[in-house]
Amino acid sequence: MKTDPLRAGSQAAAFIGKWRAREPEMAFAEVFCPPSQRTQFALWGALVLECREAALELSDPRPTQIKCLWWAEEATLAAQGHPRHPLTCALAQPALPWARLAQALATVADDDAGRPVDREAALATVAPLADALVAMEAALFVVPTSAPAQRAAAAHLLGQRLRIGREAGPGGRVPLALLARHGLTAAALAGPGGEPALRDWAGELAAALPRVPLEASLFRRARTGFDGWLLRERAAGRNRRMPPLRALLRAWTAARDRGPG
């Protein structure tokens, strides 16, 4: 009998728990997910976190390269029907565009372009991974892809990177133009004097978030709504989690006129 990946003690459960601890607001979106898609919803959230962590949330280039290449290989194996990781095993759908995700992760591993010049350049650095994630979502939840969903995913990747720390490496993607505006070096960004620049960066990312169309997946619509609130709070100097009632309201708003997914 196949093990339920959401069940405590299953191999995938620890990764799903890690995702829920990191993005607790998404639990409210799960409530509005069609029952037939809730397992996929949680597995997908956990997999996005693992890919995002590998690509953007490590402070040193060498571990980033190693983890990205490992996940690129794992996505390739999933495309061939031979996954190893509990999350990819549980998703177990070779028809998903795994090869595109593998290529995007391999591109991140080879990225040595350094710090981007401005916001649009920063979004461009993560666009291949964002586009691959949206393509995976489209296949998983049977919805169309769209440019707004891809841009929202790119802003999400950068916004989550901002939330995990002040590291000054290029993984932070804080643009040179913003550093120049504040008269900061990259190293100074990690100190107390870097806070105004980080707040401005959060504001720029919030402004970059598009309105995701109703045809997009509930996962992407809800995640984008949460990202907008969190980034605006960060821009105002309030680095806090979303209150449960507000998260429930935003999840309901995202699901209210739900199409497929």
Q: For the residues 213-242, what does the mean pLDDT come to?
A: 94
Give the start-to-end residue ranges of the domains of the chain: 13-256
The predicted-structure confidence for 96-129, as pLDDT tens digits, reads as follows 999 999 999 998 876 666 789 999 999 999 999 9
The predicted-structure confidence for 162-177, as pLDDT tens digits, reads as follows 877 555 455 468 899 9
Q: pLDDT at residue 8 above 70? A: no
Task: Determine the topology of domain 13-256 in CATH.
Answer: Farnesyl Diphosphate Synthase (1.10.600)
Residue 6: its pLDDT value, please? 67
Contacts 24+ apart (CB under 8 A), 86-91: 86/5, 86/10, 86/11, 86/12, 86/15, 87/12, 87/15, 87/43, 87/46, 87/47, 87/50, 88/47, 89/11, 89/12, 90/5, 90/11, 90/12, 90/39, 90/43, 91/40, 91/43, 91/44, 91/47, 91/140
Residue 132: its pLDDT value, please? 98
Q: For the residues 209-231, what does the mean pLDDT come to?
A: 95
- When pLDDT is cut at 50, 70 and 90, the band that residue 232 belongs to is very high
The predicted-structure confidence for 13-71, as pLDDT tens digits, reads as follows 999 999 999 999 999 999 999 999 999 999 999 999 999 999 988 877 888 899 999 99
pTM for this entry: 0.92
Residue 163: its pLDDT value, please? 77
pLDDT above 70 covers a percentage of the chain that reads 90
pLDDT above 90 covers a percentage of the chain that reads 72
The predicted-structure confidence for 177-191, as pLDDT tens digits, reads as follows 999 999 998 888 888
